[in-house]
Copies of this chain bind each other. A is one copy, B any other.
Amino acid sequence: PSNPLSDHQTSSIDITVCYLLPPDTSSIDITPKGKRPPVLVDGVTLNGPTLDIREAESFLREAMPIVMEEAVWKATDVKEKVCEWRSPEQLKDLLDLELREGGEAHPQILQRCRDAIRYSVKTGHPLFFNQLYAGMDPYSLVGRFITEAINPSLYTYEVAPVFLLTEEAVLKKMIEIIGWQDGGDGIFSPGGSVSNMYAVNVARYHHCPDVKVLGLSALPRLVMFTSQECHYSVSKAAAFLGIGTNNVYVIPSDKRYAGYCWLLLVTGALPFMVNATAGTTVLGAFDPLEEIADICERHNLWMHVDACWGGGALMSKKHRYLLQGIHRANSVAWNPHKMLMAGLQCCAFMVRDKTNLLQRCHSAQASYLFQQDKFYDVSYDTGDKSIQCSRKPDAFKFWLMWKAIGTKGLEERVDRALAMARYLAEEIKKRDGFRLVMEPEYTNVCFWYIPPSLRDTADGPEFWRKVHAVAPVVKERMMKEGSMMVGYQPHGDKANFFRQIIISPQVSREDMDFLLDQIHSLGMDL
Contact = CB atoms under 8 A, between A and B. Distances in A.
Which of A222, A235, A371, A426 has the most CB atoms of chain B within a 10 A radius of its CB?
Answer: A371
Contacts of A153: 123, 131, 133, 344
A138 B56 contact: yes
How many copies of this chain does one complex carry?
A: 2
Contacts of A220: 217
Contact of A212 (B2, B213, B245): B245
A113 interface: yes
Interface stretch (A166-174, A287-295, A350-358, A447-455): A166-174
A166 B116 CA distance: 10
A150 B169 contact: no
B142 A86 contact: no
Interface centre among A3, A88, A390 (most CB of B within 10 A): A390
Interface stretch (A254-262, A271-279, A321-329, A392-400): A392-400
A57 B416 CA distance: 22
A191 B119 contact: no
A266 interface: no
B418 A42 contact: yes
Contacts of A158: 121, 130, 479, 485
A367 to B, nearest CB: 6
Nearest to A373: B472
6 contacts: A1-B405, A15-B422, A117-B146, A120-B161, A121-B152, A373-B472
Interface stretch (A64-72, A178-186, A456-464): A64-72
B201 A504 contact: no
A48 B508 contact: yes
A450 to B, nearest CB: 18
A35 B335 CA distance: 36
Given A151-B124, A236-B364, A368-B282, A34 B221 contact: no
A388 B102 contact: no
A161 B67 contact: no
A438 interface: no
A228 interface: no
A109 interface: yes
> Would you list the 4 A-B pairs with minimal beta carbon distance, nearest first?
A215-B244, A242-B242, A34-B510, A190-B190
Nearest to A189: B190
B42 A318 contact: yes
A403 B99 contact: yes
B97 A169 contact: yes
A406 B221 contact: no
A376 to B, nearest CB: 6
B159 A121 contact: yes
A514 B116 CA distance: 42
A119 to B, nearest CB: 5
B123 A151 contact: yes
Given A47-B508, A102-B406, 14 more contacts: A6-B415, A42-B318, A46-B416, A47-B510, A51-B135, A56-B138, A60-B68, A95-B165, A104-B404, A120-B150, A120-B161, A122-B150, A159-B485, A240-B387
Interface stretch (A297-305, A488-496, A518-526): A488-496
Given A68-B60, A390-B337, A508 B46 contact: yes
Contacts of A150: 71, 75, 117, 120-124
Contacts of A404: 1, 103-104, 109
B412 A510 contact: no
Given A166-B95, A387-B236, A109 B400 contact: yes
A1 B404 CA distance: 7
A487 interface: yes
A359 interface: no
A465 interface: no
Given A217-B220, A244-B215, A371-B488, A120 B1 contact: no
A223 to B, nearest CB: 9
B508 A121 contact: no
A391 B238 contact: no
